[in-house]
Amino acid sequence: MKEPIADTEPLAPFEFGPFGRMLAPVTKWMAIAGGLVFVALVIMSIISIVGRKLGVGPVPGDVELLQMWAAFASACFFAYCHLHQG
């Protein structure tokens, strides 16, 4: 079993100076927005699948919308993950 080295401490998030502290809340809100986009995509997919099964019809362009918005939502998480050394 390895014992932790006493001199090393994990880096605290936001050790990027004043600019990093300014970006911290922006990245947090972008990550929250990305999560909300994913929730909206799940709801849209459920509506499209149920509409297809009931014979009403799917949401037009649902696959393309899902692809574009999922890429956007994923990109919203990158800066927050980077600031927290993820």
Whole-prediction pTM: 0.74
Per residue in 57-86, pLDDT tens?
888 999 999 999 999 999 999 988 888 877
Map out the domains of the chain as residue ranges: 19-83
Residue 41, pLDDT score: 96
Does residue 53 contact residue 13 with C-beta atoms inside 8 Å? no
Q: Which two tokens stand for residue 48?
A: 């499209």
Nearest one of 31, 60, 36 to 48, comparing CA atoms: 60
Tokens 């300014």 sit on residue = 22
